[in-house]
Structure 1
Amino acid sequence: MKPDQDHSLVRSPADFGQQIRQARKNQGLTQAELAAIAGVGPRFVSELERGKDTARLGLALELARLVGVDLLARPRRNPAS
């Protein structure tokens, strides 16, 4: 399955950050606005969007939920890839 406009593979913190950034912008939110809604600091949003891998998973998933991004886990067809 290849990524398309609605589905993108997330294989790194940077991939996830790009998805969050795009969804936030699509909703017309600034990083500060999203941070306020999520109850986190703007620095957390900035680091998450830049793919910094120190972000806490629980908070990252909450931000994804707030901007309408779902994460789906599925087995790879070829586990070596």
Structure 2
Amino acid sequence: MTEAVEFNTPEDAGRFVRERRLSLHLTQAQLATKAGVSRKFVAALESGHPRAELGKTMQVLTAVGLRVRGTLPARKPHYRVVDLKSHVRKTLDLRPRL
């Protein structure tokens, strides 16, 4: 079973990493070693540093078992609904008959 996790800010991502690290009973140093980054980087990431390097961030997320997947917002349909009678009248410049 997979669980979806959403974060919208660096602080959200950092909070998730910290909670996940603690649930795995890892110290920052152990996670850093597992991810191949420095302990200082893990600490900065967990504190929500807004300029954390993406490559290293992905290494840490992978190390805590998170698979990153993006989603696109729903697209609006490429068509629009029109009133056909009104459209034909305008196109043919016809006046409604009384």
**1:3 maps to what in 2?**
none
Instruction: Kindly report structure 1 stretches of 4+ aligned residues shifted beyond 3 Å.
Output: none
Q: Highest relative contact order (Cα 8 Å, sep 6+), 1 or 2?
A: 1
Cα deviation 1:34-71 (Å, max 9, x = unaligned) = 11222221110000011101210011011100110122
The one-letter amino acid paired with 1:14 is: E
Equivalent-residue separation in structure 1 for 2:33 and 2:27 (angstroms): 10
Taking structure 2 as the reference length, what is the TM-score of the superposition? 0.67
Q: How many residues are matched?
A: 73
**Paired residues for 1:8-23 under 5 Å:** 8-23=5-20
RMSD over equivalenced CA pairs, Å: 1.5
Greater Rg, structure 1 or structure 2? Answer: 2
Tell me the percent identity: 33
Q: In 2, Cα distance between the equivalents of 1:18 and 1:69?
A: 14
1:67 maps to which residue? 64
2:49 maps to 52
| Contact 1:20–1:69 (Cα < 8 Å) also in 2 | no
Of 47-56 and 34-43, the range deviating more from structure 2: 34-43
Unaligned 5+ runs, structure 2: 76-98
- Asked whether the equivalents of residues 23 and 69 of structure 1 are also in contact (C-alpha less than 8 Å), the reply is no
TM-score (norm 1): 0.79
